[in-house]
Chain A
Amino acid sequence: QVQLVESGGGVVQPGGSLRLSCTVSGFTFTNLGMHWVRQAPGKGLEWVSSIQHDGLYQWYSKSVKGRFTISRAVSRNTLYLDMNTLRPEDTAVYYCAKDREYNRRIFDYWGQGTLVTVSP
């Protein structure tokens, strides 16, 4: 069955860095785009970043562009989000999600989420 498992969250000081991982199984990783979506405490869903099925193209929200980098390691079936210059407003649960269909940006399976807290 399809599984997505995030890891790497934690507490970090403002200006710090963190790498999130999302290890997947149960589907062909190279066939589908992958995404990161976050949710600040008590708030709604916010799209963060996407990567095309082949890794050739990446997209970012304005709020993270230039600070976050999305990537994928095919041999490890793992999606990454490298987060630099973190700000308190980046505090959120970060979810990875997979495309339902080839690059359609429909999120049919999600991980359980990993909490990132940016605090002095």
Chain B
Amino acid sequence: DAGVTQSPTHLIKTRGQHVTLRCSPISGHKSVSWYQQVLGQGPQFIFQYYEKEERGRGNFPDRFSARQFPNYSSELNVNALLLGDSALYLCASSFLTGMGEKLFFGSGTQLSVL
């Protein structure tokens, strides 16, 4: 089975532009989460979607938005890009097992804002 897939892998934008990042979860996973990882730090939670509904939101401005589609894939949108938005954006899909939750990440989209 394919893992979590994200596109594009790299992206260069300029300040003020908007960007859309895409994520396909592992087949059968209904939960998708988005994380931002600034260089040298651990990932920070942005959003979580389950069955197409937003279930959680981290401490990020309204310029960040997301949605989940009927096939459970997801998009993260960022408007009015700032230099500080430059980061690795990670998508994760998760499912519950008898042993608890397992959460798997994609390879990420490296966003550079110039």
Q: Do A and B come from one complex?
A: no
Residues of B within 8 A of A (CB): none
Residues of A within 8 A of B (CB): none
